[in-house]
Structure 1
C-alpha cells in the first residue's frame, strides 16, 4: 500500500543549541508521525550526542539520501549533513562552525524540497551570533529561503502562526527607515496575494484577509500620515479587483481583536512580532511564504541556557509540522 503521508525534512538548526533535541522530539511525536514521514537533517555525531544527553533512546537510522529512508518503523531517520568541524563543539557555545553547520542542514533540506524529494521543510532555531561569526549574510530564514530558491530576499514573507492566528509581515528585518521606503503599492499587493495563495494551500477555500495600517490609527484619514490613503488602500483595491477578500486598513493596535479573519497583514516587524510573542510565547511557528517550497521555522531562540538537559519544549516544532503535513500541493491551491 502506498504511504500517502507527506514527507517533511527537519533541519536541526544551531548544533550547540536545543535544535537537535526539539527536532528529534518532534520527529518522534505520535501526532506528527500519524500525519507525515519526518526526516531529521543534520550531522550524525551531533545528533547522537544530543540524543544521549537528553535521554532520547530511540534508534537513529542514518541515511545518505532521502530515497534510502524507506519505511522507518519506530526508528528516527536522519539524513546525514556531515560537518567534521563540529566534532568537539561544546553545548551552549557560539562559534563559526556552529553557524555554518546550522545553515548547511537548512540548505540540504531546502534542496531536497526543490528536488521534490520531500514535501516541506521545518527548521529548528539558528543562532544569529554564530552565523555572524561565520561571516555569512543572514537576517532570518525568509531571506535565506529566498536566496536558496533563486528569489530576491525581499520576495519571501514571514507568516507567524499560532492557534488560529496568522500574521504576514510586509517588511521584516530591516531598519524602520528602510521599511518605510519598501512599503509600496506593489509590495503590499504582493504580500496580500502571497498570503491568499498560502492560506489556500493550508486549506482555507476563500481566505479573508485584514490589512493593517502603517501609522497610528491607520493614519486617521490622513491626520497622522497618508500612506494608508496613497499606498495601502489602492493596493487593497487592486487585490479586490483580482477577486481577493480584503478589509482595512485597520490600526495595528486594534485589528487583532477582529474575528472571522484568516490572516492579518502588518507593515512592520514589531507590529506582528510583539502581538505574537505576547499571545503565544515560545509557541509560535513562522512560515516563509512566497517561495516554490513550503518552509516553516519556530519563533523562539536556540536555548543555549537549557541545551543538553532534555527539558526543551518541542510544541512550536510540532505545531509547524502538523500544519505543513496537512497543506495542499501547489496545483490544488491555485
Structure 2
C-alpha cells in the first residue's frame, strides 16, 4: 500500500478496479482494510468489495473484490491524509516487511511497492534511505542496485541515496563491475539475449582523457574491461549527455549510471508529463526495480504526492507498469526454474 497517508491506497484501488489486472496475475494488497474501505465509502463509483485475509491462500482473486492482507496498523478515522506522520511511516514499513516475508517464504511470486515517505519512515524509528535499503537488509543482500525503466529505456545505478560529493567517491572499479553484472543479469531475466550494456561516464565528456577528472581512467574503464573478459557486452564509458537518447533509440538495452540524478532525470523527463494548460500531471509512468535480490521487487517511480492524496486524481499508470514488470520477471523466473529458458 505504501504510506497510507499518500496516494498509494487510491492508485491501488484504481489498478484493482481493472479486469485486465486479474487476467495477468492474482493480485493482493498488503495494507490496512480500514484505509481501503474509507476510500471506497467516499468514492462509491469505485464499486468493489474488500476481502480481508491473513494469508495469500485465502484470497478470492476475483475481479470486483480486493483481497487485502490486513495488518490493522493505523486507524483510518485518525489518520491525516496528505501529512507526514510517524504512524503512517510505521505502517508503511510494516507493509514492506510483510511482503518481503511472504516472498522469502515463497507465498507470493513478486512484490510491488507503492511510495513511502522517507521522513515519516525515519520518524517512526526505521532509519532507512528508502525501499531499496529495506529490501537489502531484510533479505540479507549486500550487492544490489536500483533499476529504473520506462518502456525500453532502462538505467541501473552505481549509487543512489547519498550526497553528490559522496557519490563521486563511490565510483570504484569493484562497484561499477558489480552493477554491470547486475544489469546484464536483469536483462537476461527480461528475455534479452546478449544485452548491450552502455556504461555512462562520471565526468563531462568522460573526463577528456583526464583533463576533467580521472575516474573513467582509474575506475570505470578497468571495470568495463573485466566485464568484457567475462563475456558481457559492456560498452563505454559513454558521455552522459548523449547516451540516454541513444539508448532510447535502441542502440543499448540498459545504461549503467554513476549516481542518482544521472539516471533519474532522463527517466522522469520521459515518463512524467505535466499539462501546462490544466496545471496538473497528465501522466506519470516508469518503474523502479531492485536488482540483485533473492526475490522480485518492482515499484512505482514517484513519491507519495501528499499534495494530491485523498482526491482520487492520482495516476495509476506507474503502478500498472510496475505490476507488468513484476509479472514478466516472475514468469521468466518460473520458466528458468522449469528449464525452459
TM-score by shorter chain over 0.5: yes
Query: C-alpha separation between the residues in 2 aligned to 1:169 and 1:206?
Result: 20
Contact 1:222 1:229 in 2 (8 A): yes
From 102, 114, 124, the equivalent of 1:112 is: 102
SS, match of residue 27 in structure 2: strand
Deviating 4+ runs (over 4 angstroms) = 84-87
Contact 1:146 1:156 in 2 (8 A): yes
Shift of 1:71: 4.5
- Corresponding residue number in structure 2 for 1:8: none
- Corresponding residue number in structure 2 for 1:220: 208
SS, match of residue 14 in structure 1: coil
- Corresponding residue number in structure 2 for 1:193: 181
The verdict on how the C-alpha distance between 1:100 and 1:168 changes in structure 2, with shifts beyond 3 A counting, is same
| CA-to-aligned-CA distance 1:112-134 (integer Å, 9 cap, x gap) | 11111111111111112211221
Shift of 1:228: 0.8
> Residues 319-330 of structure 1 correspond to what in structure 2 (within 5 A)?
319-327=321-329, 328-329=332-333
From 121, 129, 138, the equivalent of 2:111 is: 121
From 64, 75, 84, the equivalent of 1:74 is: 64
| CA-to-aligned-CA distance 1:138-165 (integer Å, 9 cap, x gap) | 212111110111123xx22110111211
- Residue 72 of structure 2 corresponds to residue 103 of structure 1: no
Contact 2:27 2:61 in 1 (8 A): no
Contact 2:74 2:87 in 1 (8 A): no
Contact 2:196 2:233 in 1 (8 A): yes
From 261, 279, 299, the equivalent of 2:270 is: 279
From 213, 217, 220, the equivalent of 1:229 is: 217
Could you tell me which runs of 5 or more consecutive residues in structure 1 were left unpaired when the two chains were aligned.
1-11
Contact 1:285 1:299 in 2 (8 A): yes
- Residue 8 of structure 2 corresponds to residue 47 of structure 1: no
Query: C-alpha separation between the residues in 1 aligned to 2:302 and 2:42?
Result: 21
From 303, 306, 315, the equivalent of 1:304 is: 306
- Residue 262 of structure 2 corresponds to residue 240 of structure 1: no
Contact 1:157 1:290 in 2 (8 A): yes
Query: C-alpha separation between the residues in 1 aligned to 2:144 and 2:182?
Result: 9
Query: C-alpha separation between the residues in 1 aligned to 2:336 and 2:193?
Result: 11
Shift of 1:107: 1.2
- Corresponding residue number in structure 2 for 1:133: 123
Query: C-alpha separation between the residues in 2 aligned to 1:36 and 1:68?
Result: 15
Greater mean alpha carbon deviation, residues 201-210 or residues 323-332: 323-332
Query: C-alpha separation between the residues in 2 aligned to 1:197 and 1:54?
Result: 43
- Corresponding residue number in structure 2 for 1:266: 257
Contact 1:35 1:326 in 2 (8 A): no
Contact 1:42 1:80 in 2 (8 A): yes
Could you tell me which runs of 5 or more consecutive residues in structure 2 were left unpaired when the two chains were aligned.
273-283
SS, match of residue 61 in structure 1: strand
Shift of 1:301: 1.6
Contact 1:86 1:97 in 2 (8 A): no
Query: C-alpha separation between the residues in 2 aligned to 1:68 and 1:325?
Result: 20
Contact 1:202 1:324 in 2 (8 A): no
Query: C-alpha separation between the residues in 2 aligned to 1:212 and 1:100?
Result: 37
Give the RMSD, CA atoms, in angstroms.
1.7
The verdict on how the C-alpha distance between 1:132 and 1:207 changes in structure 2, with shifts beyond 3 A counting, is same
SS, match of residue 52 in structure 2: strand
- Residue 13 of structure 2 corresponds to residue 24 of structure 1: yes
